[in-house]
Amino acid sequence: MFSNSEITMYREALDDLYPLFSKRYLDTSMLYIPYYYTWKYPSVSKREIEIIALLSAIYDFQMRVGTLRMHFIELIDIISGLGYRIWDLMETGLFKEVINELLRRIGYFHRFDPCGIAIPWIIMAVSQLDLEVIAFRSSNPDQAVAKALWKELSKYTSQMTSVEIRRIRNIVPKPNPNSPLKRINLFLRWVVRDEYPDLGLWKSIDKSILKIPLGLEIARVAGRLFFGRDLRINSIKSLKMVNDILRRINPEDPIRYDFVLSRPALLGICLKNINFSHCWTCPLRDICRIGRSTGGYSELFTNEEYMSLKEPIDRRRLDSARRKHDMILKRVVMYVREALGYIDCRSDYPIDHGLRPDIYCKNSIPLIGEVKTSTSTRQGPMQLKAYFEELRLREGIKEANGLLVYGSYSSDDLVFIREAISIIGLDRLYKDILVLGFTRDFKETKIVYRI
């Protein structure tokens, strides 16, 4: 299906992008947690890192990474403050002391294990296993590790309450031959690969046998990139399709490009609805079967649906979203005039028949602004790039200041938005970028950060 020249093209492009994505990966990944643990315990053992890495990987689902990461950080802070280590949580009395303090601080640990009661049993199982040896002896290390965990955990079920058994079943991936075992493969990537940001704990495993941690982001981006369509998640067929092409691209280290392939979806560039995706700004566009066939932003904005919404919003909430957007826009224009000193400001300024920035203020250095009702879809940076490029082309502007405004925002989303600003080079186009948010009652505008 793929020619040798295509394989070479993919390899060169993905290798070029690896440093760009890998240096920011820890900011938005649960892999940050093993690193954080080693910072708290400079004399940490390989066994401890293995335990905290496994816990971080298998709890990493159905929750915002920023929230889950904060919960793990609190857990580690409490343990270190009491002078204990992660394996000490196997002791029932200590675990109750730690978890009570943790829940007092954060309210709950994980949506499928609110009190974290699966943690001691997982640590106990891991402490009795040599997972590296188990993985080394199998050509399918993900299935072997999952099977060994469940076999060991089954030895303790007579000591568990029904709630503990239920929580473990919720959290620990089951050794199903038809499952991609995303979280187990994520753990294996961390402990086997020895190139930053991975940990390189296990020296005996050949990284050429590793499998991609197939989740929604990889299924979408890798599917569009290599096959011109989204792939099914939770599909062993999809896993095989992506693995096969990656092993042709890089036989020695096929999953090297995991975070390169996942970032466009996480950053809000490659969205579920292709009409709202920002292929024009995607670093993978030139090698993507879908991306390279799309036009520029002017063509996207002439699409009637895109022009009417400019971001994916449930049509049942469209009217309320527009009212909220217009209210925010009105207040921001007042703020720009009064606080930033821009007098000649227009809203919905037409660059052409399709591209219309929410705010355009003429001055010695123009201000270009985009308003979003929330950060939930991580939109905004991509439009700002399009506006600047078009204004430079059509009106000859040489420099501008940028403004991103969010009616409501979460710190998790803002981390991704800031990363998107850097990844797409927005901070190199604009002289200054200001990100504004509002208090809950919309009475006060506040600067979230400035770039």
pLDDT in tens, 389-414: 989 988 899 999 999 999 888 888 99
**Ranges 20-24, 74-78, 178-182, 293-297: which has the least confidence:** 293-297
Residue 420, SS3? helix
State residue 220's pLDDT score. Answer: 96
State residue 353's pLDDT score. Answer: 66
Q: Would you say residue 178 has pLDDT above 70?
A: yes
d(Cα 397, Cα 147) in Å, to the nearest integer?
A: 61
Mean pLDDT of the chain: 91
Residue 361, SS3? strand
Residue 308 banded pLDDT, cuts 50, 70, 90: low
The amino acid sitting at 209 is I
**Ranges 111-115, 306-310, 375-379: which has the least confidence:** 306-310
State residue 295's pLDDT score. Answer: 67
* Rounded average pLDDT over 100-107: 96
d(Cα 305, Cα 296) in Å, to the nearest integer?
A: 16
All structural domains of the chain? 31-211 (no CATH), 315-450 (3.40.1350)
pTM (2 d.p.): 0.91
Residue 232, SS3? coil
Cβ–Cβ < 8 Å for 371, 329: yes
* Rounded average pLDDT over 158-163: 95
